[in-house]
Structure 1
């Protein structure tokens, strides 16, 4: 495909009207979408190439999941998904706006559409087979390169209410409610993720088949799975349609059943499971996750003792996956410079005044810098952080990753963009159009877009990788 389609990264420099500073909104309307990933344009370009490849190779030329293996392989789900894709090309991407007779996947009208659109359905099935083959190749390459686990997939907390999953399994999802999170320190007005929740009663009545088949499909091509918002296996924050996130309530699930099936499928795939258990977690939940062999998630920003002081890395959890930040939190450079406070202030996402939030952030940041100095990882005085240049800030970023190396965590993670000074948070939870979530390219400290080729070659990325490689060497010695 790369030989057929070339998509140049947008120039994000100020002289080209790109995005400047730490806020994606600073570019203003004159800049249009310059500096953002235009995913629609990329998809149109890729689609043209893929259709050409399909016309040459045809569906029989791509090896995929066994066609005769039955529904547990996802065969029936694949047909439903491909049917939804073909119908969406004709009627739009939200099945709730389709003609009424097409909203039920088991209706005679949909059966007729499967016949009429069989060529497009075959194409979309072929696309999924191609994805499956590429995932298998990526996992094999990771293992061949010496990675014990390889790909760790992400299991999202929900699905698009207008998408294929909600259409094919609509009786298992609740209508009239969405899921999210109550107010907390980073998202002070709560979060509404605009995703439909599982219905606990229908999950039980179906023997949890939709959940189990989803987990099994994800683990086909990988060595692990990260369960986003793992507390959702115990309870979910349901928000009635038309209400604010703060007006929601918790609805409980059969955690023993869901954890048991998750552990069963992971054991069958010989895969590890990581639960994103950040936030307020009941002690009973942590104990049940541990009994099920589910690793926790450790984020440096949140590791604090009873007095609110940063926790030394030697006291971090061992059965966990540790990182400095996540995709839903500030980048390292964004946190060190306070960009995350200013971005949320401009969008009215703070409960307290921006000045109060900035003072609280400085106290937390300076305490982290003090921990780095106490650990012998940095020789920078806390009071000098605001005056540091980009080179010195980068040294602070590398020192923070040194905490990961010193922790007992079984798995450590880093984002390559943090080696380059990327300022902008990939996703700002609780926002849809107010922030360009998932459309921000990785940038360096000067705001220039960074290509994959540059990430592979940049010495700072290699330095970060070498730093984290010390974890494996320490494990071997131990």
Structure 2
């Protein structure tokens, strides 16, 4: 056994102390051991020097001792997490003989709550030559939810080297979350049925080649008034590159806090109406130049974004009215330094390209003087990108208002991606919070037998705590702005993420654990304040107890029909979870018609993704589909043998589930067969660039969708309103 393979007891303890798994159970329930090479790489990414070429293990032992002493070397943990209604114990580390008093400073209040002094020491040890006591204080259960501050005032004991009687104050973030995300009361009496769509696919005659927020507004109005839908779930709308070319995947954005101006409809910007006739003609000509793109069998984001940028620059020159100027200033003030830093990155990207790692060294640190000088010297360009974010916020708010006006109970549900581009805006702005030298992905499972590498840098658990979970809070707040809820992609990442050392295959990664109490606490607090529902995509390899913990915190899970199986066939829908969003399919699978036609097997075979016998894979998939078609026929839910009949029947089958939310893919309304994404691929398949089409492969516009005869049939089946009844 080589050094890179062997895991010493000290290395194993160091990894486990830092939340790095030394083994895991794979999708088949088989225990897999993690190599020493992987552990060294992951620990290094967390800022821990392990000296992976040190055969004596001295570096590992030194790192282990340092990690053991970390909590003792600080008075308070950087973040203390509590739940409303539950008293929480908090450890404080103080020099022997010091006088200690504690208080809580409540959010949005000048008052402080005195917690008094802690009791007798629970434990003592020598820390860097100083006898240090661990004492405990109780955070009262009566504190309201909020982002509070916990303060400790220490007065040094007689004989202290710094002088007796010297006082100092140490503070920590005190996050008090509600016990759970409240579920809207009316969902208990009547489930919410809605649509799920990849917005860029839904193009109208006046789109600029990409489905946009004006299209979403029309889609939501139609779905609410004509179909009785309660929500529209859309793909992540996070911002991509500020200039073409644009990354096609909505799940690999440059930032998760700010939205993509690509989804703007320029003609609906208020300043459009104030353009001079000549400037308006220019904007109209740019729009008309992109109308042919709506008839193209591919989503061309680059051409659309280039035209919109030109139009937006023309409108940016229009002076804002006094009222609009005040609204803009209020928006930038509310968004604070985060927006300014993002807009600065956009301006820097215009001069140096979107890969910040290739910028001059003086500009790679967002807190450097050189960056501040650049932002000042390019204030107009910075303001242009701030202005775009303001426009997106306005058009998103209009879509949500139209959805609610049309009778939807929830309105727009936004999707939160699991990570960001490794060289994009967040990777630059959050450079102290992200791990380097690793990417996020997933271990092998039945659908991705080689595992997945999503090419995204993970947030460091220790850095999140140091920053009071502010980066994660800001991301969640942005997703919940002007929405009825959020779907969190791979919510299992709030518990653990699969870290893959750079340059290694996904099979050589390991899980890194996060403080789930803190992560779920942030989510519960922000969602309760927004009055929004939270749906967690909890598919894949799920650790024991995770789904139970999510349910306890009021977070809905995800049930995709094809994944809900038991030993003898499909799980009866009556046995689905109540606290979940159920659907027949998802964006990582083909639309239902395509799945029934084995499109997922055909494409994976063509791409060389299947590691086993292809014929056996096809037989297994056919048997799975037959088991579901037999199940719906046994209930008397289908008449006829066409694929379209089965699509409707399977939504009728799903209507028997007790799930609080039921999502119907817009692709299923028109019989689309092509998947929008094939996990585990990049350019081998046109991921995220496939437009909406019907069963014959002909393009479907928003106008076609609104008039599609099968749309109401599928939605009514999901609502349990169609004529057939189960036997």
TM range (shorter): 0.7 to 0.9
CA RMSD of aligned residues (A): 2.0
Q: When you count helix as a share of all residues, which structure comes out higher?
A: 1
The answer to whether the 8 A contact 1:62-1:129 is kept is no
Q: Any conservation in 1 of the 2:593–2:643 contact (CA below 8 Å)? A: yes
Structure-to-structure mapping, 1:193-212, within 5 angstroms: 193-212=454-473
Among 475, 479, 489, the residue aligned to 1:214? 475
Superposed, 1:60-71 pairs within 5 Å as 61=324, 67=330
Which has a greater percent of strand?
Answer: 2
Q: Is the 8 A contact 1:397 1:419 kept in 2?
A: no
Q: SS of the residue aligned with 1:167? A: helix
Larger radius of gyration: 2
Gaps of 5+ in 1: 13-33, 381-387, 473-478
Q: Is the 8 A contact 1:10 1:449 kept in 2?
A: no
CA separation of 1:203 and 1:59: change in aligned 2, threshold 3 A: farther
Query: What are the Cα deviations for residues 70-116 of structure 1, in whole angstroms up to 9, with x where unaligned?
Result: 6xx43211111111111112211211122222111111221111122
- C-alpha distance in structure 2 between counterparts of 1:455 and 1:58, whole Å: 37
Shift in alpha-carbon separation, 1:175–1:253, aligned structure 2, 3 A = same
CA-to-partner distance for each residue in 1:340-361, whole Å, 9 max, x for gaps? Answer: 1111111111121221111110
Matched, 1:36 2:298: yes
Instruction: Say whether 1:8 aligns with 2:269.
Output: no
Q: 1:317 aligns with which of 577, 590, 606?
A: 577
Partner of 2:605: 345
In 1, distance between residues paired with 2:635 and 2:327?
A: 50
Q: 1:106 to 1:447 in 2, by over 3 A?
A: same
Distance in 1 between residues matched to 2:575 and 2:634, nearest whole Å: 14
Instruction: Write the distance in 2 (CA, Å) between the matches of 1:198 and 1:289.
Output: 21
| TM norm structure 2 | 0.58
Q: 2:446: which partner in 1?
A: 185
2:717 pairs with 1:454? no
Query: Structure 1 pair 151/471, CA: closer, same or farther in 2 (3 Å)?
Result: farther
Aligned pair count?
Answer: 438
Q: Report the Cα distance in structure 2 between the residues aligned to 1:62 and 1:255, rounded to whole angstroms.
A: 42
Aligned to 2:520: 259
Q: Which runs of 5+ in 2 are unaligned?
A: 1-265, 268-282, 723-727
Q: 1:358 to 1:57 in 2, by over 3 A?
A: farther
Contact 1:314-1:408 within 8 A present in 2 as well: yes
Q: Pick closer, same or farther for the CA change 1:414–1:68 going to 2, 3 Å.
A: closer
Q: In the alignment, which of 368, 371, 375 is matched to residue 631 of structure 2? A: 371
| Alignment CA distance shift 1:80-1:368 (3 Å) | same
1:230 CA drift (Å):
0.7
Provide, for residues 312-356 of structure 1, a one-character-per-residue CA deviation record: whole Å limited to 9, x for no partner: 111111111011111111211211101111111111111212211
Does structure 2 retain, via aligned residues, the 8 Å contact 1:320–1:411? yes
TM-score, normalised via structure 1 length: 0.87
Q: Secondary structure at the match of 2:432?
A: helix
**Which residue among 410, 418, 425 is the counterpart of 1:149?**
410
Pick the aligned partner of 1:421 from 635, 647, 671: 671
| Partners of 1:101 and 1:107 within 8 A in 2 | yes
Confirm or deny: 8 A CA contact 1:422 1:443 kept in the other structure: yes
1:74·1:213 contact (CA, 8 Å) conserved in 2?
no
Kept after mapping to 2: 8 A contact 1:157/1:232 = yes
